[in-house]
Amino acid sequence: MPTKPAPKKAIAAKTKVIKPVPKNTALKKAASDKGDGLRVLKQVLHLSPAQRKPAPDKVEHLVRDYLAKLREVDLTFENGAAVVEKYCSKYPELSNHIRRIVPAERLIEITQNLADDADLRLHLFVIRILDDDALYEVTLSGEEEHKTVKSSEWLSLLHDTLARLIARIIYARKDVKT
């Protein structure tokens, strides 16, 4: 015969008694006190030496800046001299207008015409290095004073001067042919 399942015993549920925590308003006021925030800030600022980042060396930073300026000077002059050499090989008559290129002085002298008054028609492109800066100076023909410009303008004026001379050379070639 089938057996009946045994009746289950009722288990008394244990209830947890939650006691209300008395609010202590004095603690909240002390925590929000400005002096405590300042103390925490001071603790954060006073990290142990192992956690601190090394302070950047100002002298090393300045050295890198000055080296970058010197490299820019060299690169600008090299670009200018390379353009002059490129077009001198392409237009041999241009070599007659190039008085001198002095890399040690970062100087390019170009005469506009080959007449006796060539000094009056002289274009000077010079880069001077001073203690703390580089000066890109241009003296165009007919001007007594040099003009200090940016490196990009220095190259641009050199290109313009060469372009004008090359245009005259090409124009003179056409006059000879006709």
**Any residues with CB less than 8 A from the CB of 164 and at least 6 apart, and which?**
112
Residue 50 CA to residue 68 CA, distance in Å, equals 33
- The reported pLDDT for the residue numbered 121 is 75
Helix (H) or strand (E) holding 109: strand 107-111
- Amino acid in the structure at residue 146: H
* pLDDT for 150: 94
How far is the C-alpha of 74 from the C-alpha of 58, rounded, in Å? 25
Dist CA 97 CA 141 (whole Å): 13
The pLDDT score that the predictor gives to residue 4 is 67
CA distance 168 to 112: 10
Stretch (H or E) spanning 170? helix 151-177
pLDDT along the chain (178 residues), means of 10: 63 63 58 60 58 74 90 95 96 92 94 63 89 88 85 95 93 74
d(CA 84, CA 67): 26
- Per-residue pLDDT of 92-123, as tens digits, reads 999 999 999 999 999 999 988 765 554 557 88
> What angle in degrees, to the nearest 10, is found between the helix axes of 58-90 and 151-177?
0
pLDDT of res. 131: 79
